[in-house]
Chain A
Amino acid sequence: MKFPAAAHFFTAALLASVAGQQDLGLPPQVAGSPPQVRIELLVARLPEARAAGLRAELSDPAKSSAAQDKLLAMIAKKEAELVDWPILTIRNEQLGQAANVHELRYATEYENAPFPAPQHGDGPAKVAEPKAPDKADRDQPADAGIRGHMDSSVAPTAFEKRDLGVTLEAEPDLDPDGVTVRLNIAASHVTLLGWTKATTESTKLGKITFEQAKFQTLKSKTNITIQSGRPVLLGFHKLQEPPKTVELFIVTATVLHSEPKRPDKPAKGRAQ
């Protein structure tokens, strides 16, 4: 199959047009596959005092890129903490998801009367050996000397689970100008703060303490219009724990245009 000279001319003209657009600082507008958008969500924690100055810069479109670089430098120097930085590359007008979560399973319903069991410390005790829970317990008989007689106990009959971590869901809608993106985005970060104790007393069983999980959810769900490649401050959350700390959500959407359509190379056997 001969590739017509006209097609070569057309391709060359197209490439020239693309080059021209790049000179103007615009992304290439070319034929080929539909454009796609790379969405990055930078989640970082930093001291409240440092965050205030950064907030102003991140809110200024002209300074937001420099402010993000400043934040990355702080992370490199351990002055700020990188929580996560998920990426989602997705075609225009498609919904995508990136998640990085831990599943916390905990009991919500119990059977029978409470079992008289003295417990110490907060929350579940961690087991050192992940593969064999029995081994870890045998190796760490912290309460091995306790003896008594069992009258009744409780057993969990229902569990709930909660995903802890960062999730990003986004659907871009690219403007015809090729650089403006309307972004339908939902970003969240869920953490386990600890366990709260609720105590009740009865004459038969004495004092009973229930432990309930305490979660912290930071969530930003919005529709925003942003310029390609320019970081935008999506969320500025003051944390309960650790105190005097702020968590930032910074989103960047970069339009990725496909490269111009080129004639396929002659193929013999499998393409190389």
Chain B
Amino acid sequence: MNIRLRWLPLLACAWFACSADALADDKPAVAGSWQVRGDVQIIRLPMLRAVPIITLFADDARGADAELHRLLADGTATLAHHIIARTSDGLPYATTIGEHIRYPTEYSMNDPGTIPRTRPGEKPASTSTPATAFEVWQSGPSFEFIPNVASDGVLVQAVVFLVLTDYSGMQRFEGGVAADGTRVFYEQPVFFHRRNHTNVIVHFGEPILIGCCALASDRHTAELQVLSLRARRSDGAPQVRDAAATADAPNAQEAGEWPAQSRLETFRFIVPESDALRMRPALLDARRSGKAFEELLASVRTGKAELAEVFSSPGRMGEITQFENFRAQRFGTEFIPGGFSTPIIPHAMPTTFFERHDVGDVLGFELQHRESRQLGLNLNLKTTAIHGFNRWPAGPDVVLPLSPVLAKSYWFQPNFAESKTKTDIVLTDRERTLLRFQKLSAPDARAGRVEIVLVRAITEILTEKPKP
């Protein structure tokens, strides 16, 4: 007890130093450095089971985390990755786990040969073309963060950059005909990416949902990214805010609040047009939008509507938060005139170069001001989709005078669609706001349905007083 009393003056100093500036670049006033451990858990579970947990994270993070672990225990959820990061206060940490996938991007126009296999055990293509240039892409998780411990040792601000990349095999593109008449194929890798860049403040030991999304490879599965941070003093000194100190701490309100941190949730639904039109007035009414949201979820459960994407990202005032969930789609952009000198049958043109285009969802926002329950932010939400390939004839139609039918070749170009909302908006805390209402059109297979995006901001006010 005497030891604790001796710490009281220091505790008082720490308390006063506990201001917004203490979380900035300046080092805490307390002597000794903090060793910080960060745990990132990537958990996958069925989308409809994930929705209530995502919502719960805004109100009761520990309860949500406990529920997640209960689902992990009973096998409903799976732990895709668990990254453990250790660093010192104010120092960056970076880790990369995974493998390098090497794949060709350019091909020669010689007769078909074979390209090196990028992964053992894969079924080879029947025929492929000689490659002349390769790229390497990293698959697996990559995590970087810089923690800044507040002087009281209870709160930490962290800059987080998390990238998850899944390699899901090769996509085949046809590209010409070999001398023996067999078709030639190119193989291009398919990667699914989640990229999360945010800046958060958390209580030590308290889990925070730093991001979530629907898996691009399976829209019925949600992926949750949960971060929790713990710290200890490197010099062995006790943590400034130990249990007794916490009990004696002044009321959190008197001590003041930390700079606001807010969470932004977006739900993207695909709904039949008649339902969308019927629900639109309710979705536009702040008092009824919550109920309309529940109705949309009910439609998803019955299969009438589709929940295409869910984002939930925390962000700090004045900082840019960006969450991306996309697939890198590759497609040929350079082709060989003439192709292989072979007997002609209809075939795709030999391709010499592939480009990539990201297909998926991107949420970017910057919190600009908060006043009472109103939160002003700059918001950018973009959805890119691919709806198949258009097949184009290789050049103009030609009919020779003496030989009306000779040959036919063609090349492919992808059909991308983009929905974009870029705005400066004021959201009311915890109210769902209709952000997007757009009708899908051909060549989207869901043409005629309506895409609805609801956005909600939840302001999290952190105090120095930790939860018990």
Contacts and interface: CB of A to CB of B under 8 A. Distances in A.
A1 B345 contact: no
Interface of A: 1, 32-34, 36, 38, 72, 75-76, 82-91, 94, 96-107, 110-112, 114-119, 124-135, 137-138, 141-144, 146-150, 152-157, 159, 163, 165-166, 197, 205-211, 256, 258-259, 261-262, 264, 266-272
A146 B345 CA distance: 6
B397 A211 contact: yes
B424 A94 contact: yes
Contacts of B407: 115-117, 146-150
B436 A87 contact: yes
B452 to A, nearest CB: 10
B277 A207 contact: no
A137 B174 contact: yes
Of B185, B346, B398, B467, which is in contact with the most chain A CB atoms at under 10 Å from its CB? B398
Given A137-B346, A148-B406, A271-B461, A125 B174 contact: no
A141 B341 CA distance: 21
A44 to B, nearest CB: 10
Contacts of B277: 72, 75-76, 82
Contacts of A118: 397-399, 404-406, 408
B371 A269 contact: no
B434 A87 contact: yes
B441 A133 contact: no
Contact of A207 (B398, B405, B461): B398
Given A99-B418, A258-B371, 5 more contacts: A1-B253, A94-B423, A116-B406, A133-B391, A207-B399
A259 B443 contact: no
Interface residues of B, number: 99
A119 B393 contact: yes
A198 to B, nearest CB: 9
Closest A-B pairs by Cβ, 7 of them = A134-B174, A154-B395, A130-B388, A148-B406, A33-B374, A96-B423, A209-B397
**Main SS at interface, chain B:** strand
B389 A96 contact: no
Given A103-B415, A155-B349, A76 B274 contact: yes
A143 B463 contact: no
B437 interface: yes
A72 B274 CA distance: 11
Contact of A98 (B404, B436, B444): B436
Nearest to B260: A271
A156 B253 CA distance: 67
A122 B451 CA distance: 31
B418 A127 contact: no
A205 B400 CA distance: 6
Interface stretch (B75-83, B159-167, B329-337): B329-337
B413 A159 contact: yes
A130 B274 CA distance: 28
B221 to A, nearest CB: 19
A141 B420 contact: no
Given A146-B405, A269-B465, A91 B424 contact: yes
Contacts of B95: none
B233 interface: no
Contacts of A163: 418
Nearest to B347: A137
Interface in B408-444: 408-426, 428, 433-439, 441, 443-444
A202 B419 CA distance: 45
Nearest to B374: A33
Contacts of B412: 127, 133
B339 A127 contact: no
B344 interface: yes
B337 A267 contact: no
A205 B348 CA distance: 22
A87 B435 contact: yes
B29 to A, nearest CB: 24
B17 interface: no
Contacts of A107: 392
Contacts of B92: none
Contacts of A155: 334-338, 349, 394-395, 411
Given A134-B172, A153-B338, A267-B257, A83 B396 contact: no
Nearest to B393: A119
Interface string B371-393: 11110100000000011111111
A165 B467 CA distance: 51
Contacts of A267: 252-253, 257, 461, 463
Nearest to A164: B441
A141 B347 CA distance: 10
Contacts of B49: none
Contacts of A258: 371, 374, 426, 428
Nearest to B401: A206
B391 A124 contact: yes
Nearest to A167: B420
A225 to B, nearest CB: 21
Contacts of B451: 100
Nearest to B256: A1
